[in-house]
Amino acid sequence: MMMMTMKMTTQYTFWILLIFSILIASCSTILALGGPGIGTNYGKYGSNLGVPEIGINYGRYGSNLPPPEALPSLVSSLSIKHVKTFDMDPRVTKSFANTGISLSLCIPNDKIPILASNLSEAESIIRNLILPYHKNTIITSISVGNEVSLLPQFSGKLVPAMVNVHRAIKRYRLHKKIKVSTTHSLAILSRRFPPSTAVLHKSIAESVLKPLLRFLQRTNSPLMVNVYPYLAYKQSYPSIPLDFALFQPENSPKRRRYTDPYSGIAYTNLFDIMLDSVDSAVKSLGLPKIPVVVSEIGWPTSGDPGEAAASLENARVFNQRLVEHLRRRWNKVPVYIFALFDEDQKTGAAVEKHWGLLFGNGSRKYDLNI
């Protein structure tokens, strides 16, 4: 009887700590848009977006990275056909011409104010950086900025900027081919747990996110979010078991399960909880469900001393289990793994530099079956 009581107490403590940690965890401080679709079941608010596929983020804060012309063969070697960038460099766009690999581009944050007030600036970007390349390079989407929803200098101008970019694309009759969106961190959620009760941050819910979501629905574009189970795990250590963040094996005798007390949906991993929170938060605004793109997700291979979970093996396990988990599910969600290369010129903690599937010379860190 005592052993049973201790077991129940341990499980209860785990979920109380899980609730607290998810509430405080910030899910992305790393620098991101969408085109592919790989399946996952993230609750009754999910949306089916098509055949399972997966993409990769291409960041360039590295001192030893290969030139853009080498990218298509490196991406193809990973069996990946979708790339998301953080800029609109013509050299990169041109390098993917006639390769069958699609691109998701990004307009830098500092362009948002002028785009919001000047339609001609948006037209200039489309005319100079899209029109010369779109016939040979598959361009699926443009992100207007990256994780700026909560930044006062950008948040009020974000939707007008997105509207003007869409107008410019529509002028050249490319609006059905190229979608306009923006990427968010999970900091846009003020409550995240239980997932069915999640809500958007009050300071931007009505003024920024509601008109933004209506724009996305009106233009048939996806909501883009960066989801990082590693960061939630790290900030809550040791409250959340590592296996829960790494997608527990289905046959594990110690497999944990959490059931949302309000929706009745059962979860066996942190990723599904985080993703369902986004869908529920949109629903809390009284808006219909909207397709979601996971614009960044991954696991680091190294970090500062003491970050034992940031390891080559855990990164391999996480990304491989992510692919397998998504393939098993009937509900589809586009996913872009972060990232193609390590980026040794990033500032901040050491962990920021070690998210790549490849070393700077193009060799693989580990095998990943996509």
Active site residues: 147, 296
Q: What distance in Å separates the CA atoms of residue 257 and residue 45, rounded to the nearest whole number?
A: 19
Burial of 333 (0-12, 13-18, 19+ CB in 10 A): buried
Burial of 101 (0-12, 13-18, 19+ CB in 10 A): buried
| Three-class HEC string of 131-145 | CCCCCCCEEEEEEEE
Would you give the DSSP letter of residue 110?
G
Helices (H), 200-269: 202-204, 210-218, 229-236, 242-245
Alpha-carbon torsion (166, 170, 175, 176), positive or negative: positive
Residue (of 263, 184, 288) closest to 228 by Cα position: 184
CB-based contact 256:270 (threshold 8 Å): no
Q: What distance in Å separates the CA atoms of residue 7 and residue 307, rounded to the nearest whole number?
A: 28
Q: What distance in Å separates the CA atoms of residue 333 and residue 50, rounded to the nearest whole number?
A: 8
185 beta partners: 226
Q: What distance in Å separates the CA atoms of residue 336 and residue 214, rounded to the nearest whole number?
A: 24
| Three-class HEC string of 333-368 | ECEEECCCECCCCCCCCHHHHCCCCECCCCCECCCC
